A = this chain, B = another copy of it.
Amino acid sequence: MYPELFASRMERVKPSSIREFLAAASQPDVISFGGGFPDPALFPTETLTQVFSQIMKNDGGQALQYTASDGLPSLRKKLAARMKKTAGVSCEANEIFITQGGQQGMDLMAKLLINKDDVIVTERPTFLGGLLAFNAYEPQYKTCGMDNNGMKVDELEDILKNTPKVKFIYTIPDFHNPMGVTMSLERRKKLLELANKYGVMILEDTPYREVRYEGEALPAIKSFDTQNRVVFLGSFSKILSPGMRLGWVAADAAIVEKMVLLKTAADTQCSTLNMFLADRFMEMTDIDEHIGKLRDSYKRKKDFMLQMMQEHFPAGASWTNPEGGLFTWLTLPEYIDSGKIMQERILPEARVIYVPSEGFYPQNPERNHARMNYSCMSEEKIRLGISRMGAILKDYCK
């Protein structure tokens, strides 16, 4: 290795703090509330086998060949229609392009906009994959506090008023990762108003949007966007399969064109084959019926986990009640370091892991929270994990 040859950005590109914990998740006796994985039992393997066989029979030559960098035209068209239905966004196929999962949308957004030391405003806490993507472009961060209605927009205005070189605001409005909370309608509108007023863009990241199992869906921030300020990220990872690595960007056509140039440079295109699979899956089956099954399952598991926490966790602990998505956010008394207690007792004694809060802050991390995932474990394992974890937490929450 020749570190003297490395670009300066590599000082900001470090292994994620959760990597070692997630490695523990592969041990068979460990109960993991750590990952953000969908439940593999719900993958439509049989249907996909039929879809694949049809594709190879009718379109094999195309599906295994190169295609356009912006993605399969029929899939872009379907997603444009779907944006209206699921997010209230009117858009055309040329305002959509296909990405290698939602993660690539974050990378391309930063690549498009960020010079070294430009500012990104994130929520506090925020998705660590977002920070990972952005860090490679050497930004500075400002962070805006959160409550149960999402980003505190008053605090946001203070930031925008006092910070030069802000390029964009990064938000996860629906069933926030890691907090599980949803931004209110009023704040969605206010956020956009502020972006317009201060001349910055918004990155609206919505991987969980369609996995809502309670309450009413709110329109996307993008649906109110009359000045093309919003770049919207969607994903197939939570509604079909993360292993297919498909997401999409919806934005102004001129922005789409620029981002597609960056995508072409970075990896030419997404897998033609997987785009065919998603496209034909949506033609041959009812994806909303499939998503309905996911919603039912995740709601059941969420309710169960919260009930278990209620029964087994000590009085000093509290948690959010998500209306969708995969996570609840556990808050412990401020003097507790969730990473430290996991390493010292919860992993070795209870054989349970979660994601400690430290990694979800670009700076000045709070350490007394934990992201708890409920989508992947059976109810039996949720019961066992939460009860064991609760017994240890009681020693700390005096």
Contact = CB atoms under 8 A, between A and B. Distances in A.
A316 interface: no
A267 B103 contact: yes
Contact of A133 (B38, B104, B265): B265
A391 interface: no
A107 interface: yes
A244 interface: yes
Interface string A161-172: 000000110000
A137 B7 contact: yes
A168 to B, nearest CB: 8
Nearest to A273: B243
Given A132-B264, A273-B274, A40 B53 contact: no
Interface in A29-73: 35, 37-38, 40-41, 43, 45-46, 48-49, 52-53, 56-57, 60-67
Contact of A113 (B5, B63, B255): B5
Contacts of A10: 112, 258
Given A49-B52, A64-B243, A167-B5, A13 B100 contact: no
A74 interface: no
A115 to B, nearest CB: 5
Nearest to A47: B56
Given A43-B64, A56-B45, A271-B245, A133 B266 contact: yes
A267 B114 contact: no
A2 to B, nearest CB: 7
Contacts of A265: 13, 103, 107, 132-133, 135-136
A95 to B, nearest CB: 12
A258 B13 contact: yes
Contacts of A252: 1
A335 interface: no
A56 to B, nearest CB: 4
A5 B254 contact: no
Contacts of A94: none
Given A7-B114, A270-B245, A273-B241, A65 B49 contact: no
A219 interface: no
A6 B112 contact: yes
A272 interface: yes
B13 A243 contact: no
A93 interface: no
Contacts of A7: 111-115, 118, 137
Contacts of A267: 99-101, 103-104, 107, 245, 267
A266 to B, nearest CB: 5
A200 B4 CA distance: 10
A9 B133 CA distance: 17
B1 A228 contact: yes
Contacts of A133: 265-266
B273 A9 contact: no
28 contacts: A5-B200, A7-B115, A10-B112, A14-B261, A40-B60, A40-B64, A41-B61, A43-B61, A45-B57, A45-B64, A52-B53, A53-B53, A63-B243, A64-B244, A66-B242, A66-B243, A101-B268, A103-B267, A107-B266, A129-B268, A132-B264, A133-B265, A241-B273, A243-B273, A244-B272, A271-B271, A271-B274, A273-B274
Interface of A: 1-2, 5-10, 13-16, 35, 37-38, 40-41, 43, 45-46, 48-49, 52-53, 56-57, 60-67, 99-101, 103-104, 107, 111-115, 118, 129, 132-133, 135-137, 167-168, 199-201, 228, 241-245, 252, 254-255, 258, 261-262, 264-274
